[in-house]
Structure formats: structure tokens, C-alpha cells
A and B are shown apart, each in its own frame.
Chain A
């Protein structure tokens, strides 16, 4: 299961810390054991069974861990519809999705952003704009993240986790640090930490994906969300001065980084944050899953703030938050049923039922119950609900092959030798031209 660490984790893999580390490991073992399951057969097996009544909807699920599968069943039961759930181990599901989507179930689990848009663009999933007309409780940010390049909706969000700058409340209180909202404040805070003998920024890049989050944030703060999406869509040049400006800003932060970024796992960097060796850490909220039950005091002490504004024109309007949700097959056996299932799953009732079983996620629906949330979940809902734009993460917002093989390697090269950035970017631009981004 080495493939797992080569991509940013999906919200279903890493919930919030109410799920202890031990269960996370146990569920990973179960997933690994189930890894041999072959996916392609599950789509068409039930042709004969479905013949009995036109009312049944088939649901292709990647909620394979025991708790997740129980939770998704509760969510689907709450809709009151007749649904047949076909579950596949989530790693297998993801790796075989290309094949699976050619003969899918009526409703399938997937991710928002480019990963949805790629399949929408190829015409293998259905336009569900009519379902969105009945989803008033989703924020504008979620709607943008569910919209294809043609302006129609193809995706219903279920839950998410945000990326933000994490810190320990006790450390900030002890030293009298205040939350920076502008770039200058941020740099000043870093300088202050250096003076206090603390490394300001935890930094990991093992697997090549964690630092993509830093690129996303600096780009969206420097050049705005629209430029970011356009760059990810292959429409901008990587040798543009705007992109160079991103790396200039980034270079200014490298002085405050933990040394030797490329070989460190995000877990090791999280441990440094837990030990107060570093002051701040830009990562998804899954950072708390690095700590086990005996370190509950650390988990409770971790808080986060939105990445500071760089260009006031863009402020802090964009937030990065990978979203899990659902799409509809191109030609489902039960079109009307699939649409009503998607509408119901987008409602507050379904996610409430899900969170009733597995409280480790944050609902996309703004009317969902929040009384069971811990402080981080509450804050996540708040920060993302208020965002005008939600990006998904670099390896979800662009061609995954381009993200991993071109941009990911370029970022590793940049972190290894920042002085080479011009030639690194021209290589990215040259290689970008072999991608179609359709």
C-alpha cells in the first residue's frame, strides 16, 4: 500500500482526531487485507437483480473501513430510498476508477475539483444541475468546487477537511504571540520565534505532496484563486512573472523552515510541533491524527488560523479543503432514483446520520448538526463555510499525473536548490505542453 503516501490523503482516509490513531492503524490493516478485491466486476453483477423493480438505485462505495461503511449505510438508510451498496476497498477503488467509471453503479463516490472535472469533461458522468437547485444549504464555495468547466454541476459534496496553519495555543499564550493575518505580520512573527530559539515553520515533503499545499496557499494569496485555477488548468505559463513571484515569496519563508524538507514525513514534522520545537505547521487538520490517546493534551492544545493575506486584493478569501462526495453515472439504470438519492445525500439528514456513527468528519451542508463537533471541527466548518473559494489541493486541482510527475518533482528540486528556480520552471513549462488538461 505504498501508493497511499504518494498523494494527499482524502478526507475519508484521515478524519479528525476523535478517531484515535490506533483505530486508524487498524483500519489501514483491514484496508490492506482487502486490497486484493477486484473492482471492475461490481458494476454489472447486479443487472439481473435490478430487473425486479425499477426503484432500486446502486451505490458504488469506497467507504471500506468498518466504521466508515457502517456510517455510510446509516446515511443512506436515512434517505428512505431503496439502495444497493457495492463496497470496494478505497485504495483499490481509487486506482481502478478509470476502468470502473466505464461501467459504474448509478451513484459513485468521488472527489471534488479537477478530479471530478476530468471525468465530467470526458462525458462519463451526468450533469446534476437540477439536483443542485434543491440544495440551498451548500455555500457558494462548495458549489464552485462542484462545477465543471461548462458551468454545470456534476458533484454533490459530503464532507471535507481544511488546510491551515496549525499552532499550539499554550506556546502562543506563553510567548504572547498573536495570530498574523498579513504577510508582514507573519514574517515578523517568524523573526520573533527565531529570536526566541524556536524554528518557526515545520516542514515535511516526504512523498512529494505535503509542500504542494504551501505552493497552493502562496499562489492563491499572491495571484488569486482565478489565476490558481487557470494555472492548474494548464492555461497559464509557468515561466510567467506571477509564478516566479510565488517562488520569490516562498524563498523568503525557506529561511524559517526546518532544515532538510524533502526527506521528512508529515508525521515527524507534526511530532516536532507537539514537542514545541517548531512554532507553526501548514497542513490539513489531519495533523492531530499523529498523536495518540495518551497525548490528548496536545490534541486539545492544537488550533489553526487561515494562511495570512499577501496581496490585499485577494485577502484570505480562498481556503484549501479537499472534499469527498458523489457523482452520477452517465446512463444510470435508475436515473430518477439516482437523482433523488444524490439530493438526499446532499441534505442535512444524511450527513447527520453519518456523523452519528463516525464523528470524525465535518459536514459540507451548512444546516448539519454541529453539537457533537470538537473545537477544530467547529472552526473548520466556520472557516470553510465563510470562504468564497475552496481549492482542493494541487494533486486534485490539476491532472494528477502532471501534479505528481512534473510539479511535485519541480517543488522537490526547488526545495533542494532554490537558486535553480528559473531552469526548474522552464522545465515545468516544457513538460506541461505534453499534457492536454481536457
Chain B
């Protein structure tokens, strides 16, 4: 294709390009691109870079910044070896969360597919599933902590047949993995497992609504064609609907990864019991609050999370550009 285009172009040696944009267009364009870029750099990138610099320093957050001293990779060494019992459980919880939220996304897609069939009471189910999404995660956390999880008076414990369960505080593990370099096992704590259910409650509805919107705009003719060709329901979904909704799939995948990495509010709302720590709470607790004089170490935790996010974003952007090019 592209070689044809080259030969089709007029054989002139001139390199000057004609622009279809007027001067005014250009100014508008510069303002529209420039202001967001400026804000983005000032509000996101400069703080990120400063955090990166701080992570190589020791600063007590009280005396002037000029008293900060460079300590090389010491903060990183500290969080990876001495505070390893905080860093690795948090990273592991984020990983579990990601796997779990992908599972929830699949359930959300399934619900959307079912609701798209115009079964009786679709709107009612839709509202019920979507309801948790209007709540912020912090509110979801407060609701589950006081109404559902409470050991002495929570709904789950009233319905639970056996001995009361401490859904909030029980940090014992459901399964354990022993890694060679760590002197403690990693695993899924019971209280984090309970939190996962609260998160699913919200995430499923979120994905369902996104996917339902996609299904509504899906060309019914394609589906009919698949039916005529003799596809069953599953084959139609797998080979026609799912690939046809690729843009929505990408959005759902991106949202799922971001939700898993940025998880913070619901854990904080449960006052971060041991066993439920995630990177988000680890970073915030190290940097905020009065008397916290370890800005360097907190920044190092922050950089670990930053690198995880940026890694994912770079992968996503590269993939996206590659598709546009081909």
C-alpha cells in the first residue's frame, strides 16, 4: 500500500509542506494542547520527579530542605531488605487484586451480556448492579466495615452459621507461598479476601455498565449473520461480539489494571488492618501525617508504585500506537 502512495506522489523535489491550518487554527491548537500539557507537567511530572529525587535523600520533613542529604540507594535498600515485611505483602496484595478484578470484569461482561437479552426486569437488575458504583470506594469501605463485616453485630456474622468471624482483623493466611529470598511467607490474608468481596461488589457493576453500552451499539446484523452461519451463543460471543467490541475491551482492561494499582481508599477506610496493606496505603502512610520524618523512605515506596504504573502505561501506549500505524 505505502509503496503505491510514494509513486503516486508528484515527483517534485520541494520539501515545503502546505498546511491547511490558518494562523488562528494554530493558535487555538497551541492553547488547547499547551494549557493541558502545562498543567500536566506542573501538577504531575514535576512532583513525580521531585519525589524521585527525594527517594535518594534523607530528609526529616521538618528542617529546611537544604538540610536533606544524599544517601544514594539507601532508602531503596531499606525498603527491600528491612521493611520487606511491609513492601512485599503490599505488592503481593496488589497482584492478587489485579487477578481478582479481571475475574470480576469477566463476571461484569457476563451480566452485561445477559441484561442485553432484554430479559424481564432488565432495568431493575441494571440499577441494582450499578448502585454500588455511584458510591466512592471510601464509602463502600465504611459501609462494609460497619454494616457487613463487624464481628459483633455485622450482617455477615449474623448470617454466618458457625463461630463469629473477624472479617476486618483476621490476618491469618488462606494460602501461603514461600519465596526463596524472603524469611516470611506471602499469601492471601482472610481479611483481604473479605475486602476483595467488597471490591467485587463495586467493580462488577462498573464493568457491566461499560460493556452494556458497548453491546447496545453493537451492529445486530453481525449477530444475525453469525446465527445464519450456525454459530451457537458462545461461538457468536467469542468470535463475533467480543472481537467486535475491542475498544470497550481495552477500556475495561485498562480500568481494571488501574483500579488494582491505585487501590487505596477502601483499605484506608477499614483503617488498614495488618494483612490488607496495598502500595497505595503504604505510600500515603509513609509520607503523610505529623511527625513523619522519613520523606526519603516514603518517596522510595512511592517510586516503586510509580514504576509499576509507568511500566503499564508505556506498554499500553506502545500497543496503542502500533495498532494505529498498522
State yes or no: do A and B come from one complex. yes
Q: Across the two chains, which residue of chain B brings its CB closest to A110?
A: B290
Q: Which residues of B approach A to under 8 Å, CB–CB?
A: 60-64, 78, 82-83, 85-86, 138, 149-153, 164, 166-172, 191, 268-269, 271-274, 285-286, 288-294, 297
Q: Is the CB of A412 within 8 A of B290?
A: no
Given contacts A260-B169, A404-B285, A405-B86, contact A268 B291 (CB under 8 A): no
Q: Which of B82, B150, B288 meets A431, CB within 8 Å?
A: B82
Contact with B along A422-438 (1 / 0, CB 8 A): 00000100110111100
Q: Are B170 and A262 in contact (CB under 8 A)?
A: yes
Taking a contact as CB atoms closer than 8 A, the residue among B150, B171, B288, B293 that contacts A399 in the complex is B293
Give the chain B neighbours of A184 by CB distance below 8 A.
none
Q: Is A409 an interface residue (CB 8 A)?
A: yes
> What's the least CB distance linking A194 to chain B, in Å?
18
Smallest beta-carbon distance B78→chain A, Å: 5
Please report whether the interface of chain B is mostly helix, strand, loop or mixed according to DSSP.
loop
The listed residue (A97, A207, A431) touching B290 by CB distance below 8 A is: A97
With a cutoff of 8 Å between Cβ atoms, the chain A residues found around residue B172 in the complex are 416-417
The answer, yes or no, to whether A98 is at the interface (CB within 8 Å) is yes
Choose one: A95, A207, A259, A434; the contact of B271 (CB below 8 Å): A207
Contacts of A119 in B (CB 8 A): 62
A6 touches B63 (CB 8 A): no
Whether A115 and B86, one on each chain, are in contact in the complex, defined by CB atoms closer than 8 angstroms, is no
A412-B273 in contact (CB<8A):
yes
| Pairwise interchain contact A262-B273, C-beta atoms closer than 8 A | yes
A selection of 23 A-B contacts at a CB cut-off of 8 Å is: A2-B269, A2-B271, A3-B288, A95-B289, A97-B290, A102-B64, A118-B62, A118-B291, A206-B168, A260-B166, A260-B169, A261-B169, A262-B166, A262-B168, A263-B149, A263-B169, A263-B191, A263-B273, A264-B169, A404-B289, A416-B170, A416-B274, A417-B172
Contacts of A7 in B (CB 8 A): 289
| 10 extra A-B contacts, CB within 8 A, seeds A3-B289, A115-B291 | A3-B288, A94-B290, A95-B289, A98-B291, A260-B151, A260-B169, A264-B169, A405-B285, A416-B170, A433-B82
How many Å lie between the Cα of A207 and that of B271 in the bound state?
5
Interface residues of A in 78-136 (CB under 8 A from B): 94-98, 101-102, 115, 118-119, 122, 124
Q: Does A38 contact B (CB under 8 A)?
A: no
- Cross-interface CB contact of A263 among B86, B153, B166, B268, cutoff 8 Å: B166
A233 to B294, CA, bound (A): 17
A266 → chain B, closest Cβ, in Å?
Answer: 11
A413 interface hit (Cβ, 8 Å): yes
Task: Verify B62–A263 contact, CB threshold 8 A.
Answer: no
A312–B284 Cα distance when bound, in Å, is 44
CB pair A401–B169 under 8 Å, yes or no, is no
A98 with B290: CB separation less than 8 A: yes
Closest to B150 in A: A268
Most chain B Cβ neighbours within 10 Å, of A272, A399, A434: A434
A205's nearest neighbour on chain B, judged by CB, is B169
Considering only CB atoms, which chain A residue lies closest to B183 in the complex? A423
| Among A95, A208, A401, contact of B293 (Cβ-Cβ < 8 Å) | A401
Shortest C-beta distance, A84 to chain B (Å), equals 24
